[in-house]
Amino acid sequence: MRMFSRWHWPRSLFARLALIFCVGLALAQALSFWLTVTERDEATVNVMTGYVEREVASSVALLDHLPPDERARWLPRLARRSYEFILGPGEPGTPVDARLSERFARSITDGLSRTHTVTTNAIADSSEHFQAHLTLTDGTPLTIDFHPMSSIPLSRWLPLMLIAQFALLIGCCWLVVRLATRPLNQLARAADLLGPDLKGARLPEAGPSEVARAARAFNAMQDRIAMYTAERVQILAAISHDLQTPITRMRLRVDVMDDGDETDKLRQDLLEMENLVKEGVTYARSLHGANEPPCRVDLDALLDSLVYDYTDAGKDVTLAQHVAIAVMARPRALRRVLGNLVDNALKFGGSATIEATSTKGGGAIICIRDEGPGIPEALLETVFEPFYRIETSRNRSTGGTGLGLAICRQLAQSMDATLTLRNRSGGGLEAVLALTGTPRE
């Protein structure tokens, strides 16, 4: 693995598998090609040495029997592609040591061993060139000049065949790897789509058995998660419903008690309990996804009415500008998200400014700004966790359950919108809600 990490090991499974297959198969093919060629050469040399042994022996016997003056005439007819006969002592040289020359020299010597004494020596002009010297019975010196041929040359169409074979290999590799990795991609996409509303796309349960099994398991898991969540919502709803009655009863009792410090505190506690129960149910519902169908929402109208409700109650909320666009959204969920964000701005910053701008893809960005203390950078994501409240805000004056932002995030996700917080450079917090304008049904 260390070796792989030094050069760039591709990131995707597709590229890795394709690389391993292609390199492996190409190496295997090269090896088998080399084996075939070597084996072919070996067989050719074996056949050729046997042939040379017999041919040379019979040619020498013929020259031996011919009258000396006729020998020269026969020489061209006895010559072959790799050797020729020379009447004469030939050239001297070093002992034969080249691989092929050695084998052919041995076969010539063996073929003539019963009738003649043969000496051989290499000729220095090329690596595979040697001469065999002998004396005919009448004392005439004879030389066999030998140029061993390594093998039959390769056919011209062979490289083309090799390229075609390699192309076929690459094609098959690509097909196999795609077949293996495509279901993984589909699974990842389906898991990505499984948003908080748990309405992920179902995977087709077809294809090879392993893939079909994984798809079935994934679909079953999706169903189970949806079932558990529904159950949880039901339990929460039931508890809250059952809690509401005793709380109301307790409030009635407090109302008939004598007014005093303790009674006020009790009333305050009961109010908090009521809020907690209500928020709890809303959170559970928002987890379950907005059942509300998406529709076209006139942003200006929604923001105007929201701002009006606050100013009417004497709160410092302003709308910076009108955008004159309509986006696809779930209006009640959107109103609740914006309401929660404005509540926070008012609670922690004293005032809120809302500004909406349209985006190119038909969506909109809504910013809610305040001039409060902001949130430490490290906690900008943490505050979205349910029941999380920053330590300093755990006092009665800004009392809350810590579910507000968690609900906002859930509802935003159910509308395919993103919600982020950032501190403003001049102090205060800015909540940014980016609506894509195309929530899934």
Query: For binding to Mg ion (CB under 5 A), which residues are involved?
Result: 344, 404
Burial (CB < 10 A; 0-12, 13-18, 19+), residue 351, is middle
Q: Binds 348, which of ligand ATP, Mg ion, none (CB < 5 to 8 A, cut-off by type)?
A: ligand ATP
The β-bridge partners of 329 are 295
Q: Please tell me whether residue 383 binds ligand ATP under the rule CB under 6 A.
A: yes
Shortest distance (Å) from residue 403 CB to Mg ion: 8
The β-bridge partners of 434 are 365, 418
Q: Please tell me whether residue 344 binds ligand ATP under the rule CB under 6 A.
A: yes
Shortest distance (Å) from residue 385 CB to Mg ion: 13
Contact pattern from residue 272 through residue 311 relative to ligand ATP, giving x for each residue in contact according to CB under 6 A and a dash for the rest: -------x--------------------------------
Shortest distance (Å) from residue 268 CB to Mg ion: 18
The β-bridge partners of 429 are 423
How far apart, in whole angstroms, are the C-alpha atoms of residue 245 and residue 222? 35
Q: Please tell me whether residue 116 binds ligand ATP under the rule CB under 6 A.
A: no
> Within 10 A of 297 (CB to CB), how many other CB atoms are there?
20
The answer to whether residues 306 and 338 touch, using CB atoms and an 8 Å cutoff, is yes
Residues 6+ apart with CB under 8 A from 394: none
Shortest distance (Å) from residue 305 CB to ligand ATP: 21
Classify the C-alpha dihedral 245-247-252-257 as positive or negative: positive
CA distances from 126 to 81, 103, 106, 123, 130 (A): 17, 16, 19, 7, 9
Q: Please tell me whether residue 429 binds ligand ATP under the rule CB under 6 A.
A: yes
Shortest distance (Å) from residue 250 CB to ligand ATP: 21
Q: Please tell me whether residue 353 binds ligand ATP under the rule CB under 6 A.
A: no
Q: Binds 207, which of Mg ion, ligand ATP, none (CB < 5 to 8 A, cut-off by type)?
A: none
Q: Please tell me whether residue 78 binds ligand ATP under the rule CB under 6 A.
A: no
Helix (H, G, I), strand (E, B) or coil at 131: strand
By CB under 6 A, name the one of 297, 370, 410, 439 that touches ligand ATP.
370
Q: Please tell me whether residue 419 binds ligand ATP under the rule CB under 6 A.
A: no
Q: Please tell me whether residue 111 binds ligand ATP under the rule CB under 6 A.
A: no
Q: Which stretch binds ligand ATP (CB under 6 A): 58-66, 86-94, 303-311, 389-397?
A: 389-397
Q: Which amino acid is at 230?
A: A
Shortest distance (Å) from residue 405 CB to Mg ion: 6
By CB under 6 A, name the one of 390, 424, 432, 436 that touches ligand ATP.
390
Interstrand relation of 352-358 and 317-319 (parallel, antiparallel or unpaired):
parallel
How far apart, in whole angstroms, are the C-alpha atoms of residue 270 and residue 204? 51
- For residue 272, give both structure tokens: 């908090």
Q: Please tell me whether residue 375 binds ligand ATP under the rule CB under 6 A.
A: yes
Shortest distance (Å) from residue 323 CB to ligand ATP: 23
Which residue is it, tokens 């558990």? 228
Which residues form the interface with ligand ATP (CB under 6 A)? 279, 340, 344-345, 348-349, 370, 372-375, 383, 388-390, 393, 400-406, 429
